[in-house]
Amino acid sequence: MNLILWRHAEAQDAVPDLARELTPRGRKQADRMAQWLRAQLPERHLVLVSPAQRTRQTADALGAEYRVDRHLAPDVDVAHYLAASAWPEGPEGCSGTVILVGHQPTLGRLASLLLSGEEQNWAVRKGAVWWLTTREREGRAQVVLRSVTNPEQL
């Protein structure tokens, strides 16, 4: 399974949390990252998005259908993100690639848990993508970090 963790791009401050919108810079970040993702993604994939406005606007840049999932809201536990993605098998009927568009600190904690086995406060930059995949090696399941990309690198 491919699991793509995409942090929302830069958003406004000082407005109610779920209503925060992307800044002009954030829209550029989302567009750059979406262009890169479109070139890398398999044709079939599932996009799950937090109910926050900024995550929906980030996902809109991809130009693909997505599902809003309340389990990806700000300040939820990593377990909610794992359940939404059905890691490591993926949701029923999914082609094997799931994109979670969400928030810090949960995305960083999820990445650390999957890669190190321990939940830690790892930083994920605004607009960045962490692409993880699973594989089997010598009869054991492994998590592989396929890519870490942020809009400033593109």
Give per-residue pLDDT as tens, 99-112.
999 999 999 999 99
pLDDT at 93 over 80: no
SS3 39: helix
Average pLDDT over residues 30-35: 98
CATH (one of 3.30.160.20, 3.30.390.10, 3.40.50.1240, 3.20.20.10) for 2-153: 3.40.50.1240
pLDDT of residue 94: 80
Q: Which of 133, 137, 122, 131 is nearest to 150 (CA)?
A: 131
User: Which positions ≥6 away from 78 have C-beta within 8 Å?
Assistant: 106, 109, 110, 113, 119
Mean pLDDT of the chain: 95
pLDDT of residue 138: 93
User: Which positions ≥6 away from 67 have C-beta within 8 Å?
Assistant: 46, 47, 48, 49
Q: State percent of the chain over pLDDT 90.
A: 88
- Helix (H) or strand (E) run with residue 67 in it: strand 67-68
